[in-house]
Amino acid sequence: MIIPAIDILNGKIVRLYQGNYNLVQYYDHNIYNLIEQYLLHGASIIHIVDLESARADNHDRNKIFNKIVNTFGNYIQFAGGIRSEKDIEYLLLHGVKRIVLGTAIINQVDQVKNWIKYYGSEYIVAALDVNIKNNINSICIHGWKKDTKLCLEDVLENLSTMGIKYVLCTDISKDGTLLGPNITLYNSLIQQFPKIFFQSSGGVCSLNDIIKLKEIGVNDIILGKSLLENKFTLLEAIQCWQKGLSPALM
């Protein structure tokens, strides 16, 4: 599935470069209009990220996110600063389709295990942001600011025993760069953990990237900057995903 992403910071749509809050690009789109446009063009799920809450331990969500949840809840995969049962209850009660846990996956392991069991694996997505150095896939948390030194594969092994179904994995070095996705990383993860449905995120810049990711078995592709920069349209991306061909070859 193709999942368009909208990252929000200071009330604006943005993209970070390699997860760096100091390298932020703002886009002059109306948030609600863009959500409606993506839905009109065929999106089944939209990935919404609250970047302010992602990097803060105790950050109150503003009215923008409350309006998004109340208006579009059934289509939203929500990420950013979800670290308590209260957060989860609020989002699910307002119809959010999936809830993305990031920092909590590392810092609240026992609670996450209980949440997966209680709420169900259909509603929980584990977001694992990876810093790759010397062929070691190290997990970062708190909006990519803190490197935990924990190995991605070890964390995935633990999540598998908890019954996790969806994992959103981002190679931080690719995020917001339009330099192409880390095909090698995703291919390796899919081979090692065939029961997990992987969502790829970061680097997609062409329809050929979508074809390559689908061919190796990625379940979902998160698209952010490539759509905002008009590298291709959402409709083209969805058609490419469905048929496995770029529009020129259809």
State how far the alpha carbon of 119 is from the alpha carbons of 77, 183, 204, in Å.
15, 32, 32
- Is 129 among the catalytic positions? yes
Instruction: Of 234, 201, 240, 245, give the one whose Cα is nearest residue 44.
Output: 234
Task: Tell me the C-alpha distance between 98 and 146, whole Å.
Answer: 25
Catalytic residue among 7, 50, 209, 220: 7
CA atoms of 201 and 144, how far apart (whole Å):
14
* One-letter amino acid of 102: G
User: Catalytic residue among 50, 129, 171, 209, which?
Assistant: 129
Q: Which residues are marked as active site? A: 7, 129
